[in-house]
A = this chain, B = another copy of it.
Amino acid sequence: MIRKKVNIGLVGATGLVGQCILRVLAERRFPAGNIKLWASARSAGKKVQYGRKVCRVNEIDPDEFPGCDLIFFAGTEGEKGASRIFSEAAIRAGAVVIDNGSDYRMDQGVPLVVPEVNPGDAFKHKGLIANPNCSTIQMAVALNLIHRKLGLKRIVVSTYQAVSGAGRQGTQTLESEIKDQSFGKAQGKKTRTKKIIFPRQIAQNVIPQISDFSELGFSGEEWKMVKETQKIFHDKKLAVNATTVRVPVDTGHSESVYFETREKAGLGVVEKLLAKSPGVVFSKNSYHTPLEIAGKDEVFVSRLRPDPFDPQAFVMWVAADNLRKGAATNAVQIAELLLK
């Protein structure tokens, strides 16, 4: 369906993920034709950079959808809205929608795609392809070959998630809290935060809640890691137990991932699988922190070690840029799949 030059639309062009999609499209020399940029009424009129061009962002208007081959919905994780309201019109106008939000991910008939893991699913779309949750993407990329070759029985994951996962207001909240703490109080000034978006102070703190609590007391973010991982791996029996935690880091999610395999395999086998996993940078002798891998597109795996008590269990450390591989880069990679 996609021609040589792809006419692109982007809903949410002024947000952190939208901006990152524009950067990634330019960096990867995506064969874009026309590009239309939209945002909410509040952000309409702003200018954003795409490659060397400066483009105006308009208020979203379905009448402008026709002519687009591909429309990205770059809504921040957890923010409902734009794709629920506008994706149907976009599909009717002939575009394929790649949706970063969580609204449609678990819908039957909507492929949930990590290009390194289940690229074939992308081609089964009925107009909309969903980009998985940031924490899910990096875990799926890291476990991909291990799941395929050895089978996964159980995953226990604890996350260390950056504030930019909550969009620009997330990064602004941390920034203003740090300033208040360091200097504001002493000087009697309090930085004005437009909107506090975390349930507790995040500076000098960690918060074991990302989105609302639901079934069994797990949070929405934790259920996403369960259900999306099962969907991406086509394995409804895979046992996933997630604890998702916000930490005072600007960009870069980290995960402590414990996993049990169905087949017995030595450490060397798992190391080799990780070393050749697409999209993975595996380090045997060092480790990666979010600060070091922010801005990169790969998933960084390190600290792989065998469980001391169970020959079929391992644990590892997985870090990735939540705005890039966790959102924008994965979305653009899906678009690249469709070019083939």
Q: A residues within 8 Å of B by Cβ?
A: 154, 156, 158, 160, 178-179, 182-183, 200-201, 204-209, 216-218, 226, 239-241, 243, 245, 247-250, 254, 256, 258, 287, 289-292, 302-310, 313, 315, 317
Once the chains bind, are A208 and B243 in contact (CB under 8 Å)? no
Main secondary structure on A side of the interface with B:
mixed
Docked CA distance A313–B240 (Å): 12
Assembly stoichiometry (copies): 2
Once the chains bind, are B303 and A217 in contact (CB under 8 Å)? yes
**Given A158-B158, A179-B182, A217-B303, A256–B239 Cβ distance below 8 Å?**
no
Which residues in B have their C-beta under 8 angstroms from that of A245?
160, 254, 256
Docked CA distance A136–B304 (Å): 22
Which of B201, B291, B308 is A226 in contact with, Cβ under 8 Å? B308
Once the chains bind, are A207 and B289 in contact (CB under 8 Å)? yes
Instruction: List 8 tightest A-B contacts by C-beta distance, closest first.
Output: A239-B309, A158-B158, A217-B305, A158-B256, A243-B256, A205-B291, A156-B156, A160-B206
Nearest-neighbour CB distance to chain B for A265, whole angstroms, equals 16
Once the chains bind, are A315 and B241 in contact (CB under 8 Å)? yes
